[in-house]
Each structure stands twice: as C-alpha cells, then as structure tokens.
C-alpha cells in the first residue's frame, strides 16, 4: 500500500480523499492555492504545499506545479479528485515520469476517453447506442458548418470537458454562431483545451449513469445513479436507483457498460453516462474517467468505499470486492448545497457566518465548509453534499427533508430552499421528472 499520497484538488473531495487515506493508514499531502490556505483539507492533511495563487490556471490546473509538489513531498501517488486535472493524460504522464502512481485510469485510457468526441466513436464501435453528433473542432466557423448539417436543437460541449461546464442548448443557426466563440474560450479556461463538439439535444430525457470499478482482473458494476435534475446542465440532485429503469433494462444496460469498459481495458473507477428518451431508449453520452461528485449515492446503496477501492487498485492490490459481493439495498438521494440563489441561480460567494449541518440516522454530509469560511468566487460553488439513505425512496426523501430543514447556513445564499421545494413536489415524489423538470418548476 502507498505510504503517502498527494491530493491535487480542493474542497469536499480533497477532504473525502484524506478520510479514505486515513482509513488505509496513508499519510496525505494537500497541494493547494493561496485562497485555500485555511481550508479544512489543508487543516487535516498531514502536510501541505501551496502551489500557486487563487487562479485555477496558476494552481490547480498547473501540471508543473503539481509535479513539483509530488517530487518535493516524496509521495508514492497523486490523487486528482474530480474536475481540474483529474482526466488530463498529461498529469498521468508527469506522474509516470517521476515514478509516482496516478490514482485513476491508465494514460492510454485517459487519452481515449478524455477526448469526449473520440470516446463517442469508440463506444459506438463497442456496441453502445450514441446520440447523433459531430467530430471535434477548434474553429467556430467549422462548428457552424457541422452544426447546420446535423440539425437543431443542438448542444455544444467541450471535448475535454466534464461536470456540465460549457454546455449550451442551441435551437437555431444564429444561436450557434453567437455561442461558439464564447464556448471555445470557456472550454480553454476550464480545461486548457478550446475544442468543442456538437450533439443533437434530446428533449425531456432522463440522465442515468453507471458506476464501475476495475482492476487488472475484475470488472465490477455498482449499479446506476439518476442525475436528471440539473440547472444549467449542472447536476443538482441525484438518486439511486433510478425510477426510470426496470430490472430488465438495468441488467441489459449494465452488461453493455461492462463489455464496453472491458473492450477499452478500463481500470480504476469510472462512470458511463446515458440519456434515456421518452420511449425508454438509452443513448451513450460520455465516460467520466475519475471519481464523480455524486459517488456517495452509490456508496450508500452498495456499502462500497469507492475512493478506497481507487487507491487499492492504483497501489497494485486490486479490488477488495467482486461482482458477487455487490448487494444494492434501499434508496439514496444526494442534494448539492451550492452557494447560489435558490430561484435565480446567481452565484453567492462570500463569508459563511453560521454553519450547521445535521446528522441522524441515514444522513451523510460531505463538506469542506465551516463558520467563518470563505466561499471563493474563483471556484465551483459547491458547499456541501447532503446524502440520505432509507429502506425505500419514501424514507430517503423523508430523511432528506428532515436534514435540510435542520440545516443552518448564513452569510450566503444556498440551494437548500430549492431542494426542499423539489422534495415536496408531486411530480418528483412520483418519480415523474425529466431534464426539463426544473424549468417547469420555476414557472
């Protein structure tokens, strides 16, 4: 097992990795920006190294700085968390160059699946149905031609993207022409790659993703999560299992995912994302070759610590479970508490004056926040993830309502009120919702 791991990330996922490492008896080093110097991950890591100023480009997206931090601290491995450099093959290569393990898929898999457009082509060859789309392009003029040929409505995506960043729905050629330059700039700022691609936009679909774990010998399917509830293409509430899949469709789609992952030689944790149309037909979207923000939902229904399994695989120990060990029980829901206005979605960075999140039976909270903590405008506005588990969906929802009603966060706006509104809505309670649900709820 590793002796010491560098965490190249921030916020709640950095603290989550610290917890997994402590369970495994591993020392941790946090590579952080100046803005995060007094954050909880920095407080709880065994060692800390400031790798740059507040700007993501000069800190968390700076491969040279992360590599130098790994060399200086003498770690055995680097865990990139999610976002930032988590799916960047150049970071994996930098780790290889200094003899440090990268906690994630092999470099060749990152290159294949990190290019979302190329991943679509590969998954189509593996037998997964895909949404009609275009190859990658860098010049807006090229995108205009490709989009006009594909037809509307369209959605534009960053080729190296993830987490819903940079997504835009386009319903006319004029919208396409005006959106592409800004989308290129946003992709370059977020991922260091300005390339985009286009897909046909499926109206009123469900967004379902399958979680897998793999080592050199075994592939384990941990079931699906439903991530349909999104605002501006950013996931807001997730649950497992999905209310839209039958036992038969769950088995068949899960088998396709495992076969596709085996075909590309997948290793470590990964998520295969799909859109399911009104007729129940699934369409492959992308593979997230990293830990997901919403991984706690799967951990609650499976009892598997996904981050610990990631570390075990990267250390060469292999998975501690096989498919026969997986028993999915009950229902879990995750609500993302973001620093934004519950109605408008306008970001609300600032100082948290009071902060109290609940516990109790069936409740888990992943957060980096505390009273007198700054939510910085430089980064994602996720403040906490409140996760509940129950014997069934009804109990999970009841526990989530109780948990959010007991939540106290003052000094910034948050999405707590929006979540409570959703959790009381008849359509949500009946499992009748699609990707346009929040638009309708707002009206």
pLDDT band for position 358 (cuts 50, 70, 90): confident
For the segment 20-57, what is each residue's pLDDT rounded down to a tens digit? 999 999 999 999 999 999 999 999 999 999 999 999 99
- How high is the pLDDT of residue 88? 92
Question: Percentage of the chain surpassing pLDDT 70?
Answer: 99
- Residues 269-289: what's their mean pLDDT? 93
- β-pair partners for 170: 154
Residue 55's SS3 state is: coil
The rounded distance, in Å, linking the Cα atoms of 41 and 26 is 15
Share of the chain above pLDDT 90, in %: 86
- Average pLDDT, stretch 201-213? 95
Q: Return d(Cα 168, Cα 197) in angstroms, integer.
A: 11
Adjacency order of strands within the sheet including 154-158: 168-170, 154-158, 196-200
Does the active-site annotation cover 290?
Answer: yes
Query: In the CATH scheme, what is the code of domain 206-442?
Result: 3.30.470.20
CA angle at residue 263 from 287 to 86, to 5 degrees?
30
Domain boundary assignment for the chain: 4-103, 132-200, 206-442
Determine the Cα–Cα distance for residues 24 and 2; give it in Å rounded to an integer.
9
**pLDDT average, residue stretch 395-420:** 98
Which of 225, 290, 336, 399 is catalytic? The answer is: 290
Give the lowest-confidence range in 155-159, 345-349, 391-395: 155-159
Q: Determine the pLDDT at residue 163.
A: 62
Query: Does residue 233 carry a pLDDT above 90?
Result: no
CATH T-level assignment (fold) for domain 132-200: Dna Ligase; domain 1 (3.30.1490)
Contact, 11 vs 382, CB < 8 A?
yes
pLDDT at 114: 79
Q: What was the pLDDT predicted at 443?
A: 67
> Is residue 144 packed enough to be buried (19+ CB in 10 Å), middle (13-18) or exposed (0-12)?
middle
Return all residues near 57 (Cβ < 8 A) that are at least 6 apart. Answer: 189, 192
**Rounded mean pLDDT of the chain?**
94
- Residue 79 near residue 8 (C-beta atoms within 8 A): yes
What's the predicted TM-score (pTM) here? 0.92
Q: What is the rounded CA–CA span in Å between residue 235 and residue 238?
A: 7
**4-103 CATH fold:** Rossmann fold (3.40.50)
Of 1-5, 188-192, 432-436, the poorest mean pLDDT is in 188-192
């Amino acid at each position: 097992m590793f002796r010491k791991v560098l965490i190249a990330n921030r916020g709640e996922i950095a603290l989550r990795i610290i917890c997994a490492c402590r369970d495994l008896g591993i020392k941790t080093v946090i590579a952080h920006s100046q803005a995060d110097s007094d954050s909880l991950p920095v407080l709880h890591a065994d060692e800390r190294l400031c790798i740059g100023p507040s700007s993501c480009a000069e800190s968390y997206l700076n491969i040279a700085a992360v590599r130098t931090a790994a060399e200086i601290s003498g770690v055995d491995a680097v865990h990139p968390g999610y976002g930032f450099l988590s799916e960047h093959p150049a970071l994996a290569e930098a780790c290889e160059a200094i003899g440090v393990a990268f906690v994630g898929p092999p470099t060749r898999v990152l290159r294949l699946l990190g290019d979302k457009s190329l991943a679509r082509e590969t998954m189509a060859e593996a037998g997964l149905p895909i949404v009609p789309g275009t190859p990658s392009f860098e010049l807006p003029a090229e995108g205009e031609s490709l989009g006009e040929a594909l037809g509307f409505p369209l959605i534009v995506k960053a080729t190296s993207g993830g987490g819903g960043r940079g997504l835009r729905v386009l319903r006319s050629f004029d919208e396409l022409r005006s959106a592409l330059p800004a989308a290129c700039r946003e992709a370059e700022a977020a991922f260091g790659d300005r390339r985009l691609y286009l897909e046909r936009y499926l109206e009123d679909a469900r967004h379902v993703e399958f979680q897998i774990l793999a080592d050199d010998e075994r592939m384990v399917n941990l079931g699906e999560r439903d991530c349909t509830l999104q605002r501006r293409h950013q996931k807001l509430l997730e649950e497992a299992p999905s209310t839209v899949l039958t036992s038969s469709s769950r088995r068949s789609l899960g088998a396709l995912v495992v076969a596709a992952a085996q075909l590309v030689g997948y290793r470590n944790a990964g998520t295969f994302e799909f859109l399911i149309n009104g007729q129940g037909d699934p369409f492959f979207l992308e593979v997230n070759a990293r830990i997901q923000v919403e991984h706690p939902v799967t951990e609650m229904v499976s009892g598997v610590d996904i981050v610990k399994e990631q570390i075990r695989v990267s250390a060469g120990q292999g998975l501690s479970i096989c498919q026969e060990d997986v028993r999915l029980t009950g229902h879990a829901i995750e609500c993302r508490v973001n620093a934004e206005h519950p109605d408008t979605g306008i970001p609300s960075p600032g100082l948290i004056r009071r902060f109290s999140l609940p516990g109790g039976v069936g409740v888990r909270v992943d957060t980096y926040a505390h009273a007198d903590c700054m939510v910085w405008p430089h980064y994602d506005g996720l403040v906490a993830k409140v996760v509940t588990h129950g014997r069934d969906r009804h109990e999970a929802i009841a526990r989530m309502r109780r948990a959010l009603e007991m939540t106290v966060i003052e000094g910034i706006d948050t999405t707590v009120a929006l979540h409570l509104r959703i959790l009381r809505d008849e359509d949500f309670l009946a499992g009748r919702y699609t990707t346009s649900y929040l638009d309708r709820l707002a009206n």
